[in-house]
Amino acid sequence: MVGIATDYFKELFTSKPRRDCDHVLSVIQPFENLNEELTVEFQAKEIVEVVKSTTPLKTSDMRKAYDRVE
């Protein structure tokens, strides 16, 4: 029984040679200027909007953050 479990996990966590992924990569469209959008500095009003739109169950610790922003 121990041998079966050992073999199972050894195969599960052992890397295998990578297959040719060119066919998958060929259909992925690059995002233009995505990095620029992701690195833009956030504004305090954006944080306030998110905190206000979050349900009370999710905001138990967020109220402290909201108080600091206002």
Per the domain annotation, does 3 fall within a domain? Answer: no
Query: Higher pLDDT residue, 15 or 60?
Result: 15
In a domain, 27, yes or no: no
Query: How many domains would you assign to the chain?
Result: 1
- R_g over Cα of the chain: 23
Query: Which pLDDT band holds residue 28 (cuts at 50, 70, 90)?
Result: confident
Q: What is the pTM of this model?
A: 0.30
**Is residue 67 domain-resident?**
yes
**Residue from 45, 53, 43, 50 nearest 70 by CA:** 45
Residue-range definition of the domain harbouring residue 61: 40-70
Q: What is the share, in percent, of the chain residues with pLDDT greater than 90?
A: 14
User: Residue 65: what pLDDT?
Assistant: 60
